[in-house]
Amino acid sequence: MTPEQQGLLTKANRSLEAAKTLKQEGFYEFAVSRAYYAMFYGASALLEGEGLSFSKHSAVISALGERFAKNNRIPKYYHRYLIDAQAQRNRGDYNIDPNISESDAQLLISRAEIFLTFIINNIDSI
């Protein structure tokens, strides 16, 4: 694992912890945003291992699909988790009334935990 990957995974874990805290305090729309970023940083760490870095979120999501999900280096549903998380994050960050529930936040946090655990446990062999 490169220092850049380690830094991204550290940031991912901190985002996940922030998501849990925000959910616990009732800030569900902000919790989904942090859970998304946890997954985004994890995906970025994988791509960093390929020598790839992107400034646009859509490029990270697309590259994860092309480089890792399409050829089964990661389960395809992890790519779907990231796509769905981005949609929730956009709703939470940009809608005046995002209508995000506690269960929505918990689902995204659970998915982020699963996604990150897989990456952390397999980053050197993916």
Using one digit for the tens of pLDDT, what is the confidence trace for 90-120? Answer: 887 786 887 899 999 999 999 999 999 999 9
Contact 110, 19 (CB under 8 A): no
pLDDT one-digit tens code per residue, 46-62: 999 999 999 899 999 99
Spatial distance between the Cα atoms of 84 and 98, rounded to a whole number of angstroms: 15
pLDDT one-digit tens code per residue, 2-16: 999 999 999 999 999
Contact 41, 15 (CB under 8 A): yes
Alpha helix (H) ranges present in the chain? 3-24, 28-48, 57-64, 76-94, 102-122
- Does the model's pTM come out above 0.75? yes
Residue 16's pLDDT is 98
